[in-house]
Every structure is written in C-alpha cells, then in structure tokens.
Amino acid sequence: MTGGDSGLGLVIDRRIPGPPALVFQALTDPTLYARWMGPSGSETVVDEMDVRPGGQLKFRVRFPGGPEFSLEGTYREVDPPWRLVHTWALVGDPAETTVTFQLSEELGQTRLLLTHVGFLDRDDMGQNDAGWQHQLDRLAELLGTLDHA
C-alpha cells in the first residue's frame, strides 16, 4: 500500500542559518547532504542524487558496527532555491510518503517549511517528526559553519 499524498502528515517550521540558495544546496548536493542526513554517529552514503523531476534519490545510513538501512525517492518538483519535493521510502517498504521543502528568506536566514505527508499511522508519523527535528538541527549546525558569502 502506498501512502503518497494521502494519510497523516506533519509540518515543521524552522529558521536555518544562511540564504535559501545555500540551504537548497545542502538539500541537493550529495557531499553536503551526507554531512547532515542521518542520526548523529552514523555515516550517510549517497548512491544517487539526480535532482530533476523524475530523477532518483538513493542513500544508505550506516551505524558503526551495527545495521544499515537504505532510503529512496523520486524528485517531483525542483524549483531552486525555493522548493523541492520528493517521495520517500525505506527500501523494501511499500509505504511511500512525500517530503516538501519550501524555502523563503527571512531576516537574513532561511525559513524552511518541511511538510511530510502520507503516513499510514501515528507511530510512523511521530518517529519521522522526531527524525526530521534531529536532521534539521544537524542541517542548521552544518550551515552555521559554512561561509554564507
């Protein structure tokens, strides 16, 4: 069963250091993406990041001495540096969700509005909410260390 755009969803509204172009770059550059995506202490390996409508996103998250999991998606909308939409699913899990990043400039920072929809149950939605909060903390931390010029 595919969740897609139906089902439960979450919205996270955050301020991220730097202009929208830099935040968009961190969402679409494999090297930067690997530095903030995944839990602290894990390693993220980007296998494919073809950032265009219909292009694929595939990456793996490895834990030291522990499990590895893979995620994949298809880019639906790419409007740099303001909007990025892609599907999202664990490899092997038929439940697919949709993630939207909406960026705008606000007081010298980027307002990032993340919408993640298509969850089949509240437990999955809650786990993803906690995961995204952590990932966005890591993204803000990374971008706080980069040159915004």
Q: Confirm if 35 and 126 have CB atoms less than 8 A apart.
A: no
121: domain CATH number is: 3.30.530.20
The number of domains in the chain is 1
Q: How confident is the model at residue 6 (pLDDT cuts 50, 70, 90)?
A: low
Instruction: Name the residue among 31, 11, 5 with its Cα closest to residue 115.
Output: 11
Cα 130 to Cα 50: distance, rounded to the nearest angstrom = 27
Res. 65 pLDDT band, cuts 50 70 90: confident
What's the pLDDT score for residue 1?
A: 35
The reported pLDDT for the residue numbered 95 is 85
Contact 135, 37 (CB under 8 A): yes
Q: Does some domain include residue 3?
A: no
Whether the predicted pLDDT of 66 surpasses 90: no
For residue 49, tell me if it sits in a domain: yes
Q: Print the domain residue range for 50.
A: 8-145
Q: Report the mean per-residue pLDDT for the chain.
A: 92
Residue 71 has pLDDT above 70, yes or no: yes
Q: Specify if 19 maps to a domain.
A: yes
Is the pLDDT at 148 greater than 90? The verdict is: no
CA-only gyration radius of the chain, Å: 15
Is the residue at 20 inside a domain? yes
What pLDDT, on the 0 to 100 scale, is given for residue 72? Answer: 97
pLDDT in tens, 77-127: 999 999 999 999 999 888 899 999 999 999 889 999 999 999 989 998 999
**Inside any domain, residue 1:** no
Q: Give residue 3's pLDDT.
A: 42
Residues 28 and 49 sit within 8 Å (Cβ to Cβ): yes
State the Cα–Cα distance between residues 89 and 107, nearest whole angstrom. Answer: 34
pLDDT tens-digit map of 39-54: 999 999 999 999 999 9
Q: How far is CA 141 from CA 78, 104, 126, 147, in A?
A: 24, 19, 23, 13
* Short-list 5, 27, 10, 9, CA closest to 18: 27
